[in-house]
């Protein structure tokens, strides 16, 4: 896999050292196929103009900063580190990560365009999605951009939505699929398997006692969306190597557990991983979680889960 040299900026206090940029702005949570089409258009437009390609995003996610009480907590498809990793594979020249704060949220769209995008980031053209809006009260829409573009001498390019199974792809649609356990559907919208990364932490060793040692993962971010409770066929990246596996998400009802856990049983692997970072890629849903009447019944079911997952991988990732 080729990695490009992505230049990362964390401030707009001083102008970027470029003569000009083609850029796009947004949270880009998930970097799904719709986002990818926008990013590819940015690269194409920048290349045509002989200037730098750039993506401008925000950290933390704006919804986390402006979260109102009583509203369900924001769940993210990608942490900022995951975004960087994906963008490094896409050939962009630069990434700007702006710190999002309550005061930043009060900036008008016009001020943001004039002071940040044009003056500091040297914007000569901007690429947006068909329904994109930004700035205070989402007032920065296509109409405002065209008006400012005529005055400030930048062009505006709009990208049509991308569909999957007849529905427009969006971060909301990907989240909904994952929350329903449809990790295969999420993968079709993302163009890759959905993943959860984090360090391996100590568990209760119940998997090992049952004959199926597992690695317990603590997701890198408390805001990271973990798929619906259940059992999945997965792959796991460990020390630069990808292994086939099954992953359990749930509270271990057979053992009267209460805390939700993510446990991975890696095929043909029995090394200590405590403290090491691993990445779990969710391929397909196998079954719902449930309480078993005895450990023996659970063991028999885990054996079936493992066999089903191995068949899935042996068939090239087909059911």
pLDDT for 257: 67
Q: What is the pTM of this model?
A: 0.93
Asked: is 7-161 a CATH 1.10.10.10 domain? The reply is no
Q: Taking a C-beta distance cutoff of 8 angstroms, is the pair 269, 258 a contact?
A: no
The structural architecture, per CATH, of the domain 167-314 is Beta Barrel (2.40)
**CA 195/CA 305 separation, integer angstroms:** 20
In the chain, which ranges are continuous DSSP H helix? 33-49, 62-65, 80-87, 109-111, 142-152, 171-179, 183-190, 206-209, 295-314
**Domains 7-161 and 167-314 agree in fold:** no
pLDDT for 319: 61
pLDDT for 236: 98
How does the average pLDDT of the chain come out, rounded?
93
Q: Assess whether pLDDT exceeds 80 at residue 9.
A: yes
Q: Assess whether pLDDT exceeds 90 at residue 230.
A: yes
For 119-152, how does the pLDDT look when each residue is reduced to its tens digit (9 = 90+)? 999 999 999 998 888 888 888 899 999 999 999 9
Q: Can you tell me the mean pLDDT for 242-266?
A: 87
For 272-303, how does the pLDDT look when each residue is reduced to its tens digit (9 = 90+)? 899 999 999 999 999 999 888 888 888 899 99
Q: Where are the domains of the chain?
A: 7-161, 167-314
Q: Determine the number of helices (DSSP H) and then strands (DSSP E) in the chain.
A: 9, 14
**CA 60/CA 55 separation, integer angstroms:** 16
DSSP-derived 3-state class of residue 188: helix
Lowest-pLDDT range, 33-42, 207-216, 230-239? 207-216
């Amino acid at each position: 896999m080729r990695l490009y040299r992505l230049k990362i900026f964390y401030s707009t206090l001083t102008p970027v050292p470029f003569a000009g940029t083609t850029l796009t702005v947004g949270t880009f949570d998930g970097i799904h196929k719709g986002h990818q089409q926008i990013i590819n258009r940015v690269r194409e437009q920048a290349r045509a103009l002989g200037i730098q390609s750039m993506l401008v995003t925000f950290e933390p996610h704006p919804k986390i900063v402006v979260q109102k009480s009583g509203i369900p907590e924001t769940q993210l498809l990608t942490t900022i580190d995951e975004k960087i990793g994906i963008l490094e594979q896409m050939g962009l020249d630069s990434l700007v990560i702006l710190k999002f704060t309550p005061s930043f949220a009060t900036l008008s769209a016009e001020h943001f365009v004039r002071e940040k995008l044009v003056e500091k980031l040297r914007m000569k053209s901007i690429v947006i999605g068909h329904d994109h809006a930004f700035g205070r009260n989402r007032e920065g829409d296509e109409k405002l951009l065209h008006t400012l573009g005529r005055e400030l001498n930048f062009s505006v390019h709009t990208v049509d939505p991308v569909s999957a199974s007849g529905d427009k792809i969006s971060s909301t649609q990907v989240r909904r699929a994952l929350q329903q356990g449809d990790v295969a559907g999420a993968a079709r919208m993302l163009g890759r398997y959905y993943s959860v990364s984090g360090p391996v932490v100590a568990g209760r060793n119940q998997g090992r006692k049952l004959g199926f040692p597992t690695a317990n993962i603590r997701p890198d971010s408390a805001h990271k969306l973990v798929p619906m409770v259940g059992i999945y066929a997965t792959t796991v990246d460990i020390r630069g190597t990808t292994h086939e596996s099954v992953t359990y998400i749930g509270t271990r009802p057979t053992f009267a557990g209460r805390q939700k856990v993510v446990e991975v049983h890696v095929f043909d692997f029995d090394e200590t991983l405590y403290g090491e970072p691993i990445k779990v890629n969710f391929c397909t849903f196998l079954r719902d979680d449930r309480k078993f009447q005895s450990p023996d019944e659970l063991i028999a079911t885990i054996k079936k889960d493992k066999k089903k997952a191995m068949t899935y991988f042996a068939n090239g990732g087909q059911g």
